Structure 1
Amino acid sequence: MKNIAKDVYQIPLFPRNAINCYLVEDILIDAGIRSSGNIILKALKNKYVSKHILTHAHADHQGSSKIICETLNIPLFCSELEKPAAENGNVTFEYPNPNHFISKFQKKFWAGKGHLVFDTLKEGDQIGEFIAIETPGHSSGHLSFFREFDGVLIVGDVLTNMNLLTTKVGLHEPPTLFTSNKEINRKSILKLASLKPKTLCFGHGPVLFNNGELEKFIETLY
């Protein structure tokens, strides 16, 4: 577990930061794949955790949600639009091609069983010192979380900071194969960029301490 900023910890779940979750104050954001549970629980062993939140209910974010919530006896939160997938475990239903072999692989080996959602989150909801930001596109109900006083942004999968095939570090749009609406996601990228984030924490790729990289990337989109 790596301390990123005040009360913000990255928990890398795959080599090269290929899949990450985060402890923000006493809140666990995302939970990797089904086999990530032991890694997460070990990282949280000496930490108090009050709740678990999903940026979105894809297999590499909700995979260990059920075991984490049941083991730590904590409630699960997500957006209203992500609630069905979070509860029923059908995490590929929004994929452009749910019958693609990678989609089927994720559903069979990565996705966790569903877990009851305690409550839903929407734009502007306060999450500790963070604010929930609705950032649809990669999935319909995707959420990001922003802390204004120091510019820390939990991106989720609106952007990745690595090429998921080569694992080479760098900003990318999320893969089309797993993104329900690329154009709407681009609007969400611009929405997040307008916040002027200083520290970006991704679902995939290392944390970025922004020195103009985000702004340069935005220029390549249009």
Structure 2
Amino acid sequence: MRQLAPGVRQLLGRPPHLMNVYLVEDVLVDSGTPGARRRVSRQLAGEQVSAHVVTHAHPDHFGSSHALCEEFGIPLWAGEKDVQAIETATPATAPGRIPKLLSRMKMPEPHPVDRALKEGDDVAGFTVLDVPGHSPGHLALWRESDGVLLCGDVFFHVGRLTGPPDFLTWDAELNRASMRRLAGLRPSLVLFGHGKPLRDPDRLERLTG
């Protein structure tokens, strides 16, 4: 694992930074695809893990959640408007033909959500922010004391800084509003679901301004 900030580590992946999983204090944030289970499990061996948070109900973020919660005996937490999608493994999709086709692909195993998170809740010293758009119940984690932000897929940082693809986003206009909200925080460190960490708040503001 790679230390990024006090109490915040990024699990190693192949290729690096493509689908990110984090350990925030003793809380696992996201779980990658179903194929990531062994990689994540190996890196958590010997760690104290008390809970698992899913930033949003897409299969590349809760793909291994069922297996890891069962293996480590930990509860699953998610945004309250994504609970049903995780518990039934039926993510909300964007309008159009391509998203409809993607929704027919094999989905991860469903898993009960033990805690429905909402705006203002505390997770390992971070504040939960309700930032819908990419999914109905998408959440971000914000630590104001040092400006660390885990933004899930509100932004992508794969090659360049962008929003998520519209065809993978439940409500693109709502996501753009969430992008503007997070950029306004001027975080000192942004950690993405996809892409390398960013330490330049001006880039967020230029993208959303």
Do they superpose with TM above 0.5? yes
Question: What secondary structure sits across from 2:47 in the alignment?
Answer: coil
> What's the secondary structure of 2:60's corresponding residue?
helix
Q: What's the CA shift for 1:14?
A: 3.6
Are the equivalent residues in 2 in contact too, given 1:29–1:52 (CA < 8 A)?
yes
Structure 1 gaps of 5+ residues are 163-168
Which of 111, 116, 121 is the aligned partner of 1:115?
Answer: 111
**Mapped contact 1:159–1:174 kept (Cα < 8 A):** yes
Counterpart AA for 2:78: C
Identify the range of structure 1 (39-48 vs 138-147) with the bigger mean alpha-carbon deviation.
39-48
Matched, 1:196 2:195: no
Q: Runs of 4 or more off by more than 3 Å in structure 1? A: 97-102
Residue equivalent to 1:7: 7
Give me the whole-angstrom Cα distance separating, in 1, the residues matched to 2:123 and 2:18.
25
Is 1:103 paired with 2:102? yes
- Partner residue, 1:172: 162
Q: Which residue of 2 aligns with 1:133?
A: 129
Whichever residue aligns with residue 96 of structure 1, its letter is P
**Unmatched 5+ stretches in structure 2:** none
TM-score (norm 2): 0.94
Structure-2 separation of matches of 1:52 and 1:149 = 23
SS in 1 for 2:21: strand
1:46 match: 46
**Does the Cα contact within 8 Å between 2:187 and 2:201 map onto a contact in 1?**
no
| Partner Cα separation in structure 2 for residue 197 and residue 100 of structure 1 | 32
TM-score by length of 1: 0.89
Q: CA deviation at 1:128?
A: 1.6
Find the aligned partners of 1:88 and 1:80 in 2 and give their Cα distance.
Answer: 14
What is the number of residues matched between the two proteins? 209
Equivalent of residue 185 in structure 1, options 175, 182, 202: 175
Report sequence identity in percent: 38
Q: What displacement does 1:98 show?
A: 6.6
Q: Deviations over 1:70-96 (max 9, x none)?
A: 0000000111110011111113x3232
Corresponding residue for residue 206 of structure 2: 216
Structure-2 separation of matches of 1:47 and 1:152: 22
- Contact kept in structure 2, 1:98 and 1:104, CA below 8 Å: no
